[in-house]
Amino acid sequence: MCFSGVIHSVFHHACNVSLKSDELLTLVSSEKGNFPQGIRLETSPKFTFLNQLRVGQPVACRGGIIRISGSDLSIDLRTASHWHVDLKGLRVDLHQRDTAQAWAVAWVELGKHRRGDGISGMIAAIPLPRQNPVTSPGIKILVERAVQTLPALINATRNFQVEGAITAIRPLIGLGPGLTPSGDDFIVGYLAGLWSTAGSDSSRLRFISTVGAWLSQAAVGTNAISYTYIKSAVKGNISEPIVTLAQRFGQANNMDSVREAAGTALQVGDTSGADGVLGLLLGCIAWTAPSLFCCSPPQPVLCS
Amino acid sequence: MARATKILRNFYRDSVSLMQLSSMFAKLPGVEQASAIMASANNISLLKEAGLLGGTIEAGANDLLIALQGQEEALDAAMAAAEAALNQNPPPVTGNGRSCGMAPRSIEMGLGDMVGANLALISTPGEYAAAEALKALSLGLNVMLFSDNVELKDEIALKRFAQARDLIVMGPDCGTAIINGIPLAFANAVRRGEIGVVAASGTGLQQVTCLIDRWGKGISQAIGTGGHDLHRDVGGISMLQGLKALAVDQSTSVIVLISKPPSPEVAGRVLEVAGGVGKPVVVNFLGADPEGIKHPNLFAAGTLEDAAAAAVALADGRRPEEGRPKRPPFAIPPKLAPGQQYLRGLYSGGTFCYEASLLLKKDLGQVYSNSPVDPGDRLGDVWTSRGHTVIDLGDNLFTRGRPHPMIDHRLRNERIFKEAGDPEVAVILLDVVLGYGSHPDPASEMVPVIQKAKDLADKAGRHLVVVGFVCGTSLDPQNLSKQEVALRDAGVILAESNAQAVRLAATVVLAAAGVGKMP
C-alpha cells in the first residue's frame, strides 16, 4: 500500500487527508462508525485529532504504515480489518409487512428527532426547533425547495426517468447548512435506499449507474468532503450508521433494534444524520412501495 | 437594513460548530438574520432568495460564507465575534487530561490557525527562505522576509510573482516593519498617525519612525523592502508596491521614502511614481544629489533626521524646512590631550554607519569604513581602525556565528575598550537601538565598559569623549528615559539623532585640531 497526501481538515474525532489522486481519505477515532474511504483508529476516550494534526502536514503511506510529517502519530494498517457491506444484497422490500413496519418505526423516530434545520425539516410532522428566526434564514426556502423536489425525484426514480431524477437532484447538491450540506446528506441517504432495494433488478441497477455517473461529475459543485461521500455512495459505499439502519429493515423482527439503529444514525452531526435517514427512507420506498404521497403539496405520509 | 459578508477560503468546521455559531448570532444585538454556510452555488442562491446576499459572491463550495443582516453598527462586531468563535479551536486534551497547544509546522498550518491572516513573516536560513516565501505568496499572503543570504535571482522572482498578485515581499534581509501598528522584527513601539514610511533600510526606518514619534506625530504604516530592492535588477518593485499601498491608504497623508543610494534608473522610476501619488513625499536617498529631486510633491532630505522633521512639518501643514531640528546645547568636554585627533564610530545599525560616513566625510575628509561611501575608503582590516573610522558591526563579517550587536554587545564592548587604549582616539561614537528584538537593557551592557574605557584613558592622561544617541521611543520595552539616564550618568554625551551625534563628534575632533569651535 503506497500513497501520499496532505492533511486537508481536522476535527475532534475525524481528520481528512487529501491524496495526490484528489480523493479524500478520512481518519476517524474509534467511537465513530466505519466509513467508506475511511480508516477507523483504535483510540483512547480522550483522543482528539486536534492536538495531533494540523492542516497542511504531509502524509505518506509506505509498506502499510501511514506516517505524518511533524506528528508522533503513525498508523499501522497491516493488521487492519476491512469493513464492507453489500447494500445491494440486502434486497429491502417494503411490500413485506415486517419491513414496512420497520420503515415506519424509523420514520416515527425521524419525526421525533427535533433537531436540525436541514431538508429533514420538510416533514410537516416535525415542528421546527428554532427559537429565534436568526438561526437559519434560508430554512423556509430550503424546505420549500425540498417539498417541490423530493416528490419529483421519487416519481422519476419510480419510473426510471433519468432526466427527471437529474433535474430533481441538481438543486440539492451542496444545498443547506452543515459541513456536509443537508442536500448532500440526503443524496447519500437516498442512494443508500436505492442500493438497498435494487437487488439484482437490471433496470434499477442501470438507473443507479446512469444517475450515479452524472452525479459523480455534478457533485464537484459541493465541497471536497461531501463530494467524496457522494462519490462513494454512487458505488454503494455508505457510512456505517445508515447502512446499519438499512440492514435492520431486512431483519425486522425486532423493532427496538430498528429504533436503536435509527437513533444512532440520527445523532450524526447536527443535520447530517436526520437528512441521511430521510434520504434512506425515501430511497427505500421509490421502488418498493406502491404509493407515497397522498396529496400535493405533500404531507409525507406512508400509504400502507 | 445593512448586510455584511465574509468568505473564509478552504475553511472547514464540523456541523455542530456551525450550528453553535448560528446560536451565537441569535444572541447578538442588532443582528436580524445570519447564516454560516458552505458557499456552494445552490447555497448562494438560497441566501440570495432569503435576502441575505446581493450582487456577485466570489466563493466556492469549499469556502465558508458568513452572511449577516441587521443594524449597520452591529455587523462589524458580529462578524468579528463569528471569526473569533471559528478560530477558537476546542481545547485539545492530552492523555493526562491537560490542555495543550500544538505549534503550526508549516505556513499552511499557521493559516489554518489564523484564518484571515494576510502576512507571513519568514525567518529561516537563507537557503530555505525563498521556497517558504513562494509558498506563502501562493497562499495569498504578503511576505516579510527577515532572512538574508537569499540569492538576487530568487528575490527578483519572488517580487515579480508577488507583484502579479498584488502582494508585497518585504525583504529579503528586511529587519524592520510596522504594519497596522504592530512592530515586526527589530522595530520600535511608535504611536499611530498619518505618516507612512517605505524604507530599503532597517535602521533608517527605525530612526525616522522614532523621531516622528518623539516629535509628536505617528506612523500609519512602515514598510521595509530589504536593502537590495532599489538594485537595478530588482527595479524597486517592493518600494513601488509600498508606495502604491500608501497612496491609497486613507490614514496616510505624508509619505517618507528611505534608501541607501539606489540605482539611478530605479531612483528615477520611483521618483516619477512618487511625484504622482497626490500626497507629499519626503525622499531620503542617502548620498543622492537633492538637486535630482524636482517635483512639487517631492521633498529631498539630506539625513534621516531631516526626513523625519520634514514629514512632521508637512503633516502639520507647515513647510518641510520649518521642521528642521535645532541643535541641542552641548556640554564642553575638558581639553583633550595632545595627539587625540581621531573619531571612531562603532555602530550596530548599518544605515547609521553609512550616514555617519557621509556626514563625516564632509567635515573630516577621509573616513575609513567597512561600508564606505567611496571604495577607496574601505578599511583593509576591519578589526583594526585607522584614522577616522566608522564600523558597521552588524556586517556579516562580524555576525557569523554570533548574534547581531543590537542583541549581543560583547563584540562592540571589546572594540570600545580597544579604541580607548589608542592614544590618538578623541571620540567614540555609538548608536543604541531600542525596540522589539533588541537587547532588553542595552545600557546595562554598555555602561560598565564605557566607564572602564574612560578610566583607562584618564589613567593615561587623556580624556575620552563618548558621543551617542538612543534610537527608541518612550513606548519601547527598554524604557527610553532609563536608558538615557544611565548612559548620561556614565558620561556619554547624548544627541537626539544619529545626524546630531555625528556632527557633535565631528565638532569635538575639529575643535581638538583647532579647526573649529565647540558649539
Q: Do A136 and B113 touch (CB under 8 A)?
A: no
A70 and A98 inside one domain: no
Check: CB of residue A289 under 8 Å from CB of residue A197. Answer: no
Same-domain status, B179 and B243: yes
Assess A43–B contact: CB distance below 8 Å, yes or no.
no
Complete edge-to-edge strand list for the sheet that includes strand B192-199: B182-185, B176-179, B219-224, B192-199, B254-259, B281-285, B298-300
User: Do A107 and A206 fall into the same domain?
Assistant: yes
Number of domains in chain A: 2
Please tell me whether residues B231 and B130 are part of one structural domain: yes
A134 and A160 housed in the same domain: yes
pLDDT of B292: 79
More confident: B169 or A128: B169
Q: Return the CATH number at B83.
A: 3.30.70
- Reply yes or no on whether the pLDDT at A296 is more than 70: no
Q: Give the C-alpha distances (Å, rounded to integers) separating A57 from A67, A287, B14.
A: 10, 46, 20
Tell me the DSSP string of B68-133.
EEE-HHHHHHHHHHHHHHHH-PPPPB-TTS-B------SHHHHHHHSTT--EEEE-S-HHHHHHHH
Q: Is residue B389 part of a domain?
A: yes
Lowest-confidence region among A89-93, A157-161, B79-83? B79-83
Provide the residue range defining the domain that includes A39. 2-76
Q: Classify residue A303: in a domain, yes or no.
A: no
pLDDT of residue A45: 82
**Pairwise CB contact (< 8 Å): B14 & A44:** no
A137 → closest Cβ in B33, B97, B101: B33
Residues B228 and B120 in one domain: yes
- Looking at per-residue confidence, does A300 or B462 come out higher? B462
- The answer to whether the CB of B339 falls within 8 A of the CB of B354 is no
Are residue A59 and residue A167 in the same domain, yes or no?
A: no
Cell readout for B144 is 516579510
Rounded distance, CA A125 to CA B430, Å?
83
B389 and B474 assigned to the same domain: yes
Local structure of B249: helix, strand or coil: coil
What is the structure's pLDDT at B22?
75
* Whether A137 and A48 share a structural domain: no
Does residue A151 share a domain with residue A61? no
DSSP of B279-297, one letter per residue? S-EEEEETTS-GGG---TT
> Looking at the complex, does the CB of residue A276 fall below 8 Å from at least one CB of chain B?
no
The reply to whether residue B38 touches residue A132, judged by beta carbons under 8 angstroms, is: no
Query: Do B401 and B502 have their domain in common?
Result: yes
Burial environment of residue B72 by CB neighbours within 10 A (0 to 12, 13 to 18, 19 or more): exposed
Task: Identify whether residues B300 and B387 lie together within a single domain.
Answer: no
pLDDT of chain B along its 519 residues, tens only? Answer: 889 999 998 888 887 778 778 778 877 888 888 888 899 998 998 888 888 888 888 899 999 999 988 898 888 888 888 888 887 755 443 333 333 456 677 788 788 778 789 999 998 878 889 999 999 999 999 999 998 889 999 999 999 999 999 999 999 989 899 999 999 999 999 999 999 999 999 999 999 999 999 999 999 999 999 999 999 999 999 999 999 999 999 999 999 999 988 898 999 999 999 999 999 999 999 988 888 788 899 999 999 999 999 999 999 999 998 877 766 656 666 688 999 999 999 999 999 999 999 999 998 999 999 999 999 999 999 999 999 999 999 987 887 667 889 989 999 999 999 999 999 999 999 999 999 989 999 999 999 999 999 999 999 999 999 999 999 999 999 999 999 999 999 999 999 999 999 999 999 999 887 765 544
CATH number at residue B222: 3.40.50.261
Same domain, A272 and A136: yes
Report the complex ipTM: 0.83
Let me know the angle formed at the C-alpha of A187 by A186 and A190, rounded to the nearest 5 degrees.
85
The domain of B437 spans 342-512
How crowded is the C-beta side of B399, counted as CA atoms within 13 Å? 18
State which amino acid sits at residue B227: G
Together in a domain, A22 and A135: no
Q: What is the mean pLDDT of residues A52-75?
A: 88
Residue A74 has pLDDT above 90, yes or no: no
Q: Work out how many domains chain B is built from and give that number.
A: 3
Please list, in sequence order, all residues whose beta carbon lies within 8 angstroms of the beta carbon of residue B132, skipping any fewer than 6 positions away: B107, B120, B122, B124
Q: According to the model, what pLDDT value does residue A299 have?
A: 40
Residues of chain B contacting residue A131, judged by C-beta atoms under 8 Å apart: 26
Residues of chain A neighbouring B117 (CB-CB closer than 8 A) = none
> Are residue A143 and residue A186 in the same domain, yes or no?
yes
The angle subtended at Cα A125 by Cα A123 and Cα A129, nearest 5°, is 85
Give the CATH number for residue A72: 2.40.50
- Residues B26, B125, single domain; the answer is no
Query: What part of A 108-137 touches B (C-beta under 8 Å)?
Result: 117, 131-137
CA distance A169 to chain B (A): 11
Note whether residue A81 is domain-resident. no
B74 and B142 fall within a common domain: no
List the single residue in A138, A221, A271 with the smallest CB-CB distance to B61: A221
Contact A194, A204 (CB under 8 A): yes
Same domain, B123 and B227: yes
Indicate yes or no: CB of A270 within 8 angstroms of CB of B41: no
Give the B window 24-53 contacts with A, CB below 8 Å.
Answer: 25-26, 31-35, 37-38, 40-43, 46-47, 49-52
- Do A56 and A184 lie in one domain? The reply is no
B227 and B352, same structural domain?
no
Which tens digit of pLDDT belongs to each residue from A213-247?
Answer: 999 999 999 999 999 999 999 999 999 999 999 99
